[in-house]
Amino acid sequence: MAGLIVLKPGVDWTATGGLFDWTLEFLISRLSDRQAVNHLQEIVDNNLGSLWVDDLPAAAQREVVRLWRESLVEAGEAQLPETEQKGDVIRRLQELVDASYSAGFPGSNDPG
């Protein structure tokens, strides 16, 4: 089963179910907003397979995007198993980070 993260209508990211869950678990272990954590945990626990970022409170949305931009790729490089597909998986994570800019989320780490 694949997973879908919708950053805004028209800007989304799809991944295998395992990578989708890993990406949400990355956030679950780091987010300060307990309500957002509970929402993400419900998605993982029930194999719901999609996250609409705008379902989260505005402050949690900003924190999610900040965490992705600051450390998602690095966490993937450090934590994901060494397989022949790891390079492709890391590129998929980078695509999610890039999508956060395409979606227009503000931040001090804007590329370019």
44 in a structural domain: yes
**Which amino acid type is present at position 64?**
V
Q: Is residue 54 in a domain? A: yes
Give the pLDDT confidence of 73-84 residue by residue, as tens digits. 999 999 999 999
Range of 96's domain? Answer: 2-102
Q: What is the domain count for the chain? A: 1
Is the per-residue pLDDT at 108 higher than 80? no
108 in any annotated domain: no
In which band, very low, low, confident or very high, does the pLDDT at 106 lie, cut at 50, 70 and 90? confident
Cβ-proximal residues to 1 (8 Å cutoff; 6+ apart), any chain: 17, 47, 49
Lookup result for tokens 């590329």: 111
Asked whether residue 100 carries a pLDDT value surpassing 60, the answer given is yes
Q: Is the pTM of this model over 0.85?
A: yes
Q: What's the average model confidence in pLDDT over 24-51?
A: 97
Q: Strand 2-8 and strand 50-52: pairing? A: parallel
Which amino acid appears at position 46 of this protein? N
Task: Determine, yes or no, domain membership for 70.
Answer: yes
**pLDDT for residue 30 is more than 60:** yes
The predicted-structure confidence for 48-65, as pLDDT tens digits, reads as follows 999 999 999 999 999 999
67 burial class (0-12, 13-18, 19+ CB within 10 angstroms)? middle
Torsion sign, CA atoms 76, 79, 46, 55: negative
